[in-house]
Structure 1
Amino acid sequence: MEHYTERAARIMRRIEELAAISEDAQGITRRFGTPAFLQGSALVRSWMEASGLATRIDSIGNVRGRLVSQNPVAKTFVLASHIDTVVNAGKYDGPLGVLLGLDMLEHLMAQQVALPFHIELIAFSDEEGVRFHTTYLGSKVVAGSFDAGLLNRLDAHDISLADAITTIGGHPGHLTTDAIPAEDWLGYFEVHIEQGPVLWERQIPVALVAAIAGQQRVELTWRGMAGHAGTVPMELRQDALAGAAEFLLAVEQFGQTYKHVLVATVGKLEVRNAASNVIPGEVVCSLDMRSADAARLQVAYEELRNLTAAVAARRGLELDWNLIQYTAPVSCDAKLNNLLAQAITETGHEVVSLVSGAGHDAVPISAVAPATMLFVRCYKGISHNPLERVELPDLAATLPVTDRFLSLLIASY
């Protein structure tokens, strides 16, 4: 166990070093294409190179390190996660999977194992989608499913995605050449913090991910009539904020009613031209719904859309309902999950199977390759928060699981 603790401590040191690179001094923020992001990418690449991997940065900014097999018909198995962050993030969401993957390969190379397939470690450039509201940019390029229409998408400073790619040294026209062809894929493995409280409450270090919930994200704009707060009678008002507030509470009640099959959240609320003495005339808010049941997710979408239209009509408000993102639920690959479950059992842990409510890069990759994921316990399930934390003993307990999984995969090839 001491050997695993030493390896875990080295991973932790690297995580801390990467976390020190941020757009602001008060927290951890590394959005796609920013100077802090580029500095972090360079650091991760330097670690890959020092370990002996053949490295490159592709046109979307993914950092890629490759361990090459001598097998002339070898396919590629990918270990990956992301290194971009949300604003004011924790240290472990994404980087844990990348740097644990690097440790796995360092351990494998030290054993001088003859690989029957190539292994590529990828630090995806954009999973969170904070800057351009475009989740999975990095993994979609690798999967060959990048939507070229996104190149015109603008950030808050009116910089296009195409210009951002050029600024970081990429070429928008070369994105398709950075994909791993579907016929070359062997599979995909991602280690990630749970971002939920199940493992923390049960005091179990790791869990098998059975599926990843589908998501639907909507932007709603409520338009009423702005007016003087002291002169417009209550019964004559068209208060956009009151309509949005009724909608928000209805979403919470809807989520409580169907809590066993879905979650629903309003996480953004913006009052345009807000003032304490003005009746709100325009409000923008969000809706985020998630479920592992595709049919239930679609039914919920229609039910909430109808409910929202009724609120707007009753209050005399105009409503724009704009679907921003739809991602179908994904089931992890049965064969790879069986190997991962065997590795968990053989290293002395109970096999706990969880559905991920958060999205992961495994979602777009699963369209072209078998994918599996391993969750690692995090402190109280807290994530997207500076309090996000992984305990050293849990990380040390994860390493024999991942080592064993890779050994079983090599032996099964």
Structure 2
Amino acid sequence: MENYLHRANNILTRVRDLACISEETHCITRTFGSPAFVSGCRKVLSWMQEAGLEARIDNIGNVRGRWNCGQPGARTFVIGSHIDTVRNAGCFDGPLGVIIGLDLISRMQEEHVQLPFNIELIAFSDEEGVRFHTTYLGSNTVAGTFQPSLLDKTDNNGITLREAIKTIGGDPEKLQADAIPAEDWMGYFEIHIEQGPVLYEDKLPIAIVHSISGQQRARITFKGIPGHAGTVPMDRRHDALCGAAAFILAAEQYALQHKDELLATVGTLHIADPASNVIPGEVTITLDLRSSDKLILKKARRSLRDIGFRICSERHLTADWAIMQKSMPVECDTALSHLLAQAIVAAGYNVKNLHSGAGHDAVTIAAVAPVCMLFVRCYKGISHQPLENVEVNDIAAAVQVADHFIHHLTEVYQTR
């Protein structure tokens, strides 16, 4: 175990080093295409190069390190996670999986392991979707499912995704060439913090992810009539903010009524031309819906849309709905998850299976390859904020399990 703790401490040091690269001095923020993002990519690239991998940054900003086994016709097994963050983030969400993957590959190279397949380590560029409200930009590119229409999406400053890609040195016309062909995929493995309290409360360091929730994001703009706060009577107002507020509470109530199968979150709110003495005339919010059942997800979106229009009718407002992103629920691969369970047992831990309510790059990759995921315990399940933390012993457990998993995978693949 001492060796695993040593490796875990080295991983933790690199996680902390990457966390020092941020758009803001007082917190961790590293959104797609920012100077901090570019600097972070270069840092990870240098680590991959030090490990002897064929490393590069592709056109969407993914950092990719490849270890070719040298066998003709060999397929590729991808290990990955993301290195972009939400605003005011923790330092483990995403980078931990990338850096554990790098440690795993470095160990195999030191031991001169003969692989029957290629390995590619990928630090995906945009899983969170903060800047352009477009989750999975990096993994969609690698999977070959990137939609060219996204290139015209703009951020809050009016900069298009196409322009942002050029700024980081990529060519938006060459994204398709960065995809791994479907026939070349062998599988995908992602290590990620749980972002929930189950492992913390159950006192377990790791767990297998058996499924991932589907997700829908919508942008809703409520439109009324702006007016003077001191002259328009209360019963004659067309207050867009009050309409948005009524909808936000209605969405919360709807999700509470279906709390065993649905989550609903309004995460952003923008008031056009805000002033303390002006009745808001236009307000835009985002709605995030998640469920493990695609039919429930579809029903929830339709029901909440109807609720929104009813609120607008009662308040003499209008509403524009725009779907920004959809992803279907995903089941992780049974065979790979079975090997992961064997690895957990071999490492001396109890096997726990969990559903993930958070989205991961595995969602996109599942469209072209079998996927599996390993969760790592985090402090009280806290994530997407500075208190996010992972103990070194839990990192060591994940490293040990990852070692056994690749060993089992190599044995199985060599017998085919």
Normalising by structure 1, what TM-score? Answer: 0.97
Q: How far off is 1:180 after superposition?
A: 0.5
Q: CA deviation at 1:403?
A: 0.7
**What is aligned with 1:273?**
273
Give the superposition deviation at 1:248: 1.1
Aligned partner letter, 1:385: Q
Deviation at 1:346, TM superposition (A): 2.2
Residue matched to 1:302: 302
Q: Per-residue displacement from partner, 1:193-231 (whole Å, max 9, x unpaired)? A: 111111111111111111110111111111122223333
Q: Structure 1, unaligned stretches of length 5 or more?
A: none
Report the alpha carbon displacement of residue 112 of structure 1 after superposing the two structures with TM: 1.3
Matched AA of 1:325: Q
Shift, 1:83, TM fit: 0.9
On the 8 A contact 2:135/2:325 being kept in 1, the answer is no
CA distance in 2, matches of 1:81, 1:187: 14
How far did 1:273 drift? Answer: 2.4
1:63 and 2:63 correspond: yes
In the TM superposition, what whole-angstrom CA distance separates every residue of 1:369-412 from its partner, at most 9, and x where no partner exists? 00111111111111111111111111111111111111111011
Q: 1: CA distance between counterparts of 2:192 and 2:406? A: 16
**Moved beyond 6 Å, runs of 4+:** none
Partner of 1:268: helix, strand, or coil? strand
Residue 259 of structure 1 and its aligned partner are, at CA, apart by: 0.7
Deviations 1:62-88 (A, max 9, x none): 111111112212100000011111111
| Contact 2:134–2:324 (Cα < 8 Å) also in 1 | no
- What is the RMSD computed on CA atoms of the aligned residues? 1.2
- Between the aligned partners of 1:175 and 1:280, the Cα distance in structure 2 is 41
Aligned partner letter, 2:246: E
User: How far apart, in 2, do the equivalents of 1:239 and 1:155 lie?
Assistant: 26
Residue of structure 2 equivalent to 1:178: 178
The residue type equivalent to 1:405 in the other structure is: F
For 2:267, what is the secondary structure of its paired residue? coil
Residue 135 of structure 1 corresponds to 135
Matches within 5 A, 1:101-120: 101-120=101-120
Deviations 1:298-327 (A, max 9, x none): 111111111111111111111112211111
Q: Which residue of 2 aligns with 1:359?
A: 359
The two structures have a TM-score, normalised by structure 2, of 0.97
Alignment partner, residue 31 of structure 2: 31
Q: 2:309·2:318 contact (CA, 8 Å) conserved in 1? A: no
Alpha-carbon displacement from aligned partner over 1:117-140 (angstroms, at most 9, x marks no partner): 000001111111222222111111
Per the alignment, residue 159 of structure 2 pairs with 159
Q: Distance in 2 between matches of 1:224 and 1:61?
A: 41
The answer (yes or no) to whether the contact 2:200–2:377 under 8 Å persists in 1 is yes
Cα drift, residue 271 of structure 1: 2.3
Letter matched to residue 205 of structure 1:
P
Q: Distance in 1 between matches of 2:178 and 2:144?
A: 8
Q: CA deviation at 1:191?
A: 0.3
Q: CA deviation at 1:339?
A: 0.8
Partners in 2 of 1:342 and 1:96 — Cα distance?
A: 22
Counterpart in the other structure of 2:372? 372
**Alpha-carbon distance, 1:171 to partner:** 1.4
Counterpart AA for 2:320: D
Partner of 2:287: 287
Q: For 2:34 and 2:235, locate their aligned partners in 1 and report how far apart those are by CA, in whole Å.
A: 49
* Structure 1 segment 152-301 matched on structure 2, within 5 A: 152-301=152-301
Kindly tell me the number of residue pairs found equivalent between the two proteins: 413
Instruction: Give 1:386's aligned residue.
Output: 386
Change (3 A) 1:230 1:166: closer
In the aligned structure 2, how far is the partner of 1:78 from the partner of 1:37? 22
The answer on 1:348 being equivalent to 2:348 is yes
For 1:202 and 1:111, the matched residues in 2 are separated by: 35
Moved more, 392-401 or 266-275: 266-275
Residue identity in the other structure for 1:261: E
Per-residue deviation, residues 35-85 of structure 1 (Å, max 9, x unmatched): 211111111111111111111111111111111112212100000011111
Match of 1:12 in 2: 12
Give per-residue Cα distances to partners, 1:79-105, cap 9 Å, x unaligned. 001111111111111100100000011
Question: Deviation string for 1:246-285 (max 9, x for gaps)?
Answer: 1111111111111111101112222222233332222111
Q: Percent identity?
A: 57
Question: In structure 2, the residue corresponding to 1:176 is in which secondary structure?
Answer: helix
Worse-superposed segment, 157-166 or 70-79? 157-166
